[in-house]
Chain A
Amino acid sequence: MLMPAAVLIVLVLAALTVDLSLVHLGRREVVAATEAAANDAVTAGLSEATFRAGGGYKLDPTRVDRAVRAALDARGLLDRLEDAPHVTITGTTVAIRLALRVDYVFARALPGFDHSAVVAAQGSATAVTR
């Protein structure tokens, strides 16, 4: 009687380990995505017209937003986001916050467990003149 229960418990714990590892992978992915998008946007988002006119390093919100979306689209993440990317521009810093839904593999088969989890991350990049 105890042995089948023990086997079942071991398998369920192993399945939970794999599912939580997938969530961890998803978190790593969204962290890398925010950092890459911020890094792209902080340079590609430069307002060249302002810069050429002597106005210094100013970020154009439209160009920043376009760069962020292009970066996320290249990774195939745009369709998997919980909501639209939250982009904040402060001086020469671009900060991005993303929330990504990660599907479980094993937990979907267990009653009472969620089928997915939402992971969030924030990344920023600052353009520094040398």
Chain B
Amino acid sequence: MTPVSSRLRGDRGTVGGIEALPFGVLVFVVGSLLTANAWAVVDVKLAVTSASREAVRRYVEASDHDRAVNEATVVARDAIRSHGRDPDRAHLRIDHAGGRPWGRCTRVTMTVSYPVPALSLPWIGGYGDAFEVRADHSEIVDPFRAGLPGASRC
């Protein structure tokens, strides 16, 4: 029987090209992470798109400004939560075209943003904030709707 020290000496028995395997594994891991991160962006985009749309709809149909802001915030948070995301991490921005106050004919654009982690891992969660995914929706407050004060000045 050949002693162990003799058998481990030399290159005999080594599989040619074995050094390529770590690179293959690396490509697989990096590719999987890239795809998972891209999917996380798509998933968050679905959530923020729904949130901005629901928020604007509620905002333009409210009876006054304060109620509009409150209701829009609530429905945006609900939409984010219903997509399995944390509503506390979402940010809602409300813009009125031309700086007009809430009222007839005012164009409202709502932007909902949500941070996507740099590295998403199943069961464990995400690490770091790579970038923000945003979606916006815009509508005007109905110029001739009943129940609103003031005249229509579109």
A residues contacting B by CB (< 8 A) are: 3-4, 7, 11, 14-15, 17-18, 21-22, 25, 28-29, 32, 36, 39-40, 43-44, 46, 48, 67, 70-71, 74-76, 105-106
Contacts and interface: CB of A to CB of B under 8 A. Distances in A.
A70 B107 contact: yes
Nearest to A130: B146
24 contacts: A7-B27, A11-B35, A14-B31, A14-B32, A14-B39, A18-B42, A25-B49, A28-B46, A28-B49, A32-B53, A36-B137, A40-B139, A40-B140, A43-B140, A43-B142, A43-B145, A46-B143, A48-B152, A71-B138, A71-B139, A71-B140, A74-B97, A74-B107, A75-B137
B138 A75 contact: yes
Given A18-B38, A28-B49, A105-B38, 18 more contacts: A7-B24, A7-B28, A11-B31, A14-B35, A17-B35, A18-B39, A18-B42, A25-B45, A25-B46, A28-B46, A36-B138, A40-B140, A43-B140, A43-B142, A44-B143, A46-B143, A74-B97, A75-B138
A46 B45 CA distance: 35
B105 interface: yes
Interface in B133-154: 136-140, 142-145, 152, 154
Interface of B: 24, 27-28, 31-32, 35, 38-39, 42, 45-46, 49, 53, 56, 97, 105, 107, 109, 136-140, 142-145, 152, 154
